[in-house]
Structure 1
Amino acid sequence: MNATTIGALYGAGTLVLMFSGMPIAFALGAIAVLFMWAFMPGAALDTVTQNVYEEMASITLLSIPLFILKGAAIGKSRAGADLYSAIHAWMHKVPGGLGIANVFACALFAAMAGSSPATCSAIGSAGIPEMRARGYQPGFAAGIIAAGGTLGILLPPSIVMILFAVAAEQSLGRLFLAGIGPGLMLVLLFAGYAAWKFKRDYAEALRVYEAGGVKSACLNEEHFTLADKTRMLPRVLPFIVLLIGVMVALYGGFATPSETAGLGGLLALALIAVIYKVWKPAQVKPILASTLKESTMLMFIIGMSLLYSYVMSYLHISQGAAEWIVGLQLSRWVLLAAILTFVIVLGFFLPPVSIILMTAPIILPPLKAAGFDLIWFGVLMTIVMEMGLIHPPVGLNIFVIKNVAPDIPLKDVIWGVMPFVALMFVAVILLCLFPGIATALPDMVMGPTTGH
């Protein structure tokens, strides 16, 4: 049986197992072991555990559980609500300031926690009720939080970027730096849309009220004294200092990514102990349990995905697919568009972790051959996977929002996120036209590479 036929069976079998409802890790591991038994030497099955261990024995992957600990410590405290309240107090006079405050709070919290679902849950539980109480449409409020939460996989430290760096054999520090410019661009795009949409809704609410209709809550004025604003800062500033400190330690060359993650986790635990008095075993237990559960699940998916990729490589499926793509002789931009479309479709059904580890052996060689900078592509791919987090039918953040605000109809949530999906598409176009948005900062800090 030739590699093409084996590859077709491999892909079809994977889809059948995934759509059967089997957990992703088990589906990937089962299909890999099955094809090892059927098409590889008999001794290959004896090396399954060794292969998984060797693939996962990466010092870079060690940072994942430690970053998860840091995110859990912050996510399980009131840090998200306090962060949101402080930003809202300082921005309440800006048109649409509450919506913009939620975008900024999502960005800062995402940078501290590194998790999209955690950001949606922490900021959404405080932000959505506040926005709705002040006259924001339910779908609009849900869309702001769902889209803001996606920044968790783009702004460093990002678990998704850690995995891309491992899969593409690229510098993690350079990749983290490359995500900052596009991340800030998305924050500005989201904040700009939030301000424009609020002004439009405000004008409509004012027209209705002046015509004798009901006065919308968005027409009410809010006032915060300087004392009120200043009183909120002591609880927020330590976490901002933690974020800055972690970045300085990493990019200043003072610590490796794993050491930085460990430092961040310990400091986050220390901060919530001092600021929120979370230090008793019963209070710390949920943080450690959440870290253990999420880390185990994620590392199991990573291990099985790496085994899956190893079998693809051994059976020449990934090489054959890459050679076939190159053989099509597509122009480099058509090739890029086709690959990103493929990633978008996968994002409807799979989490970013699985997409990266499953597709990297196939898509990266043709992209490298076409002359694309893989650091730049890693950022581009991350934004496209962000779309999958809020795009139906299986956008993870959509269902997190439904859990936070169950009374908002799913239809309203979906319509609320679609403008943000369009803004992400705009960001992808801008990155293609101006790659320096992603590459300028890492080139400035770490020196230029020959890849672009």
Structure 2
Amino acid sequence: MEQLWMALVLLVVLFFLLGSGIWVALSLLGVGLAGMAIFTSAPVGQVLASTVWGASNSWALAALPLFIWMGEILFRSRLSSDMFNGLSPWLSGLPGRLLHVNVLGCGIFAAVSGSSAATAATVGKMSIPELTKRGYDSKMVLGTLAGSGTLGLLIPPSIILIVYGVATDQSIARLFVAGILPGALLVGLFMGYVAIWSLLNRDKVPDDVERLSFIEKVKRTRSLLPVVLLIAGVVGSIYAGVASPTDAAAVGVALALLLTWLSGDLSWESFRDGLVGATKTSCMIAFILAGASFLTVAMGFTGIPRMLAEWIGGMGLSPYALLAALTVFFVVLGCFLDGISVVVLTTSVILPMVEKVGIDTLWFGIFVVIVVEMSQITPPVGFNLFVLQGLTGRNILEIAKAALPFFLLMVLALAIIVWVPELATYLPNSMGR
């Protein structure tokens, strides 16, 4: 009972700090300090110093700024227009035609970006004017972008999977590989929905098929070659065991700089802006991780995670019941916090419960990322909704309504992953530890 009151007090402190507009990292540090100062006799200063240094001095974390920088470099290149030109000849014959470019374009860019917001912004900047000009239904254009933009969280290299791996001491390489099949599943579900919708709404899909010979299609596909090489260099080196995620991130940055230089997009201004943008984002994430790491240690001193795990264990919840409750919890929390904050804020408390009921923590990482993807397109703080609002000037609730079918498809994907967990565990188990 004492730990329950402690948890309620700290929860009130957390929501007060977050509601007051204080940075997430400072809020996490504040809750940890309050918990240790009020409920323990541990030396707060020493614990804070050693924990923050330990959280910052992590080799696995070195991959994070490199992947972010790679995404920033490509964000400022003409990669997205090359993708459109390379994909559109092959997709214009499918039901839904060029709407599939949004889905596949986001899937491909996610594999070289790692960021949900960067994926939605980059592909959206190219496809929204193009598809609107050709007369495609605006709701489906926005919906496919909002839903598919979240793939940046799951398809490797994923920034949020790196954060989860660091926060839970999981192998980042295995997490990356675990995200491949679930990412492909989501792409397949999104494309299937677009095809079915277009067959039921033929009047909303313009007949703008461009008649091209097979040779011309192949010629246009050459513009996809740089992207394919980049994906092969990054993901392929990890899966083959040639490089660690950190090494692969460095390879990705070098390849991205080389490709943008060869395409003529690399200038001093774009290089500087990309480096500054990556530095800002990386510092923000590292600061949040340091705050979350201290909160994790503070919670360990108070005994709250152990108490909650024992409480959940005493309730006799099945793994499915626990996952259902956690799904609702994560979606609600994700309505008010960004995905990285959700992961680092909850892992210290949630993981003991998950381990208590025998859920694989590697599989749980993929589960969490899909749920966080869902929260990226739920108001009031769905980050992808804000990105698309900035691109289009449309009402955020209108964009959320357009994204609703894709939210439901993610729920279906989540159910499939729960029903067939091998989708997330087969590839990492086949590559060994």
Give the Cα–Cα distance (whole angstroms) in 1 for the partners of residues 133 and 195 of structure 2: 17
Give the Cα–Cα distance (whole angstroms) in 2 for the partners of residues 81 and 310 of structure 1: 47
Give the Cα–Cα distance (whole angstroms) in 1 for the partners of residues 26 and 134 of structure 2: 46
Q: Report whether the alignment pairs 1:445 with 2:431.
A: yes
- Structure 1 letter corresponding to 2:207: L
Q: Report whether the alignment pairs 1:66 with 2:53.
A: no
1:390-423 deviation digits (Å, cap 9, x = unpaired)? 11221110110011111x3333311110000000
Aligned to 2:336, the other structure's residue is in SS state: coil
CA separation of 1:281 and 1:219: change in aligned 2, threshold 3 A: closer
Q: How does 1:370-449 map to 2 (within 5 A)?
A: 370-406=357-393, 408-446=394-432
Aligned to 2:207: 219
Aligned to 1:239: 227
CA separation of 1:87 and 1:220: change in aligned 2, threshold 3 A: closer
Give the Cα–Cα distance (whole angstroms) in 2 for the partners of residues 32 and 376 of structure 1: 28
Aligned to 1:19: 19
Q: CA deviation at 1:231?
A: 4.2
Q: CA deviation at 1:167?
A: 2.5
Aligned to 2:98, the other structure's residue is in SS state: helix
Residues 78, 276 of structure 1: 8 Å contact kept: no
Q: CA deviation at 1:12?
A: 1.1
Give the Cα–Cα distance (whole angstroms) in 1 for the partners of residues 169 and 406 of structure 2: 31
Q: CA deviation at 1:432?
A: 1.4
CA separation of 1:272 and 1:380: change in aligned 2, threshold 3 A: same
Gapped runs of 5+ residues in structure 1? 206-216, 448-452
1:334-355 deviation digits (Å, cap 9, x = unpaired)? 1221122211111111112121
Aligned to 1:361, the other structure's residue is in SS state: helix
Give the Cα–Cα distance (whole angstroms) in 2 for the partners of residues 40 and 373 of structure 1: 32
Give the Cα–Cα distance (whole angstroms) in 1 for the partners of residues 362 and 401 of structure 2: 32
1:103-143 deviation digits (Å, cap 9, x = unpaired)? 00100000110000000000001111222222222121111
Give the Cα–Cα distance (whole angstroms) in 1 for the partners of residues 269 and 330 of structure 2: 42
Q: 2:242 aligns with which of 233, 246, 254?
A: 254
Residues 51, 290 of structure 2: 8 Å contact kept: no
Aligned to 1:262, the other structure's residue is in SS state: helix
Give the Cα–Cα distance (whole angstroms) in 2 for the partners of residues 425 and 392 of structure 1: 16
Q: How many residues align?
A: 433
1:283-313 deviation digits (Å, cap 9, x = unpaired)? 3111111111111111111111111222111
- Structure 1 letter corresponding to 2:235: M
* 132-141 vs 264-273, which moves further: 132-141
* 164-173 vs 35-44, which moves further: 35-44
Give the Cα–Cα distance (whole angstroms) in 1 for the partners of residues 74 and 215 of structure 2: 26
Q: 2:321 aligns with which of 304, 309, 334?
A: 334
Aligned to 2:107: 107
- Structure 1 letter corresponding to 2:91: M
- Structure 2 letter corresponding to 1:427: A
Q: CA deviation at 1:316?
A: 1.2
Aligned to 2:155, the other structure's residue is in SS state: coil
Residues 135, 218 of structure 1: 8 Å contact kept: yes
Residues 153, 386 of structure 1: 8 Å contact kept: yes
1:45-100 deviation digits (Å, cap 9, x = unpaired)? 24423321112322111110011111111111111221122111222122212111
Aligned to 1:394, the other structure's residue is in SS state: coil
Q: CA deviation at 1:198?
A: 2.2
* 305-314 vs 418-427, which moves further: 305-314
* 104-113 vs 47-56, which moves further: 47-56
Residues 87, 221 of structure 2: 8 Å contact kept: no
- Structure 2 letter corresponding to 1:434: V
Gapped runs of 5+ residues in structure 2? none
Percentage of identical aligned residues: 34
Give the Cα–Cα distance (whole angstroms) in 2 for the partners of residues 33 and 261 of structure 1: 35
Q: Report whether the alignment pairs 1:271 with 2:267.
A: no
1:326-369 deviation digits (Å, cap 9, x = unpaired)? 12111221122112221111111111212112211222122222
Aligned to 2:43, the other structure's residue is in SS state: helix
Aligned to 2:123: 123
TM-score (norm 1): 0.91
- Structure 2 letter corresponding to 1:433: W
Give the Cα–Cα distance (whole angstroms) in 2 for the partners of residues 287 and 235 of structure 1: 23
Give the Cα–Cα distance (whole angstroms) in 1 for the partners of residues 269 and 208 of structure 2: 42
Query: Structure 1 segments of 4 or more deviating over 4 A?
Result: 225-228
Q: CA deviation at 1:225?
A: 4.4
CA root-mean-square deviation: 1.9
Q: How does 1:182-201 map to 2 (within 5 A)?
A: 182-201=182-201
Q: 2:299 aligns with which of 297, 305, 312?
A: 312
- Structure 1 letter corresponding to 2:404: M
Aligned to 2:184, the other structure's residue is in SS state: helix
Give the Cα–Cα distance (whole angstroms) in 1 for the partners of residues 212 and 298 of structure 2: 61
Aligned to 1:356: 343
Aligned to 2:91: 91
Give the Cα–Cα distance (whole angstroms) in 1 for the partners of residues 63 and 378 of structure 2: 29
Q: CA deviation at 1:234?
A: 3.9
* 394-403 vs 364-373, which moves further: 364-373
* 63-72 vs 88-97, which moves further: 88-97
TM-score (norm 2): 0.95
CA separation of 1:224 and 1:405: change in aligned 2, threshold 3 A: farther
Aligned to 2:179, the other structure's residue is in SS state: helix
Aligned to 1:144: 144
Q: CA deviation at 1:446?
A: 2.3
Q: CA deviation at 1:156?
A: 0.6
Give the Cα–Cα distance (whole angstroms) in 2 for the partners of residues 291 and 223 of structure 1: 42
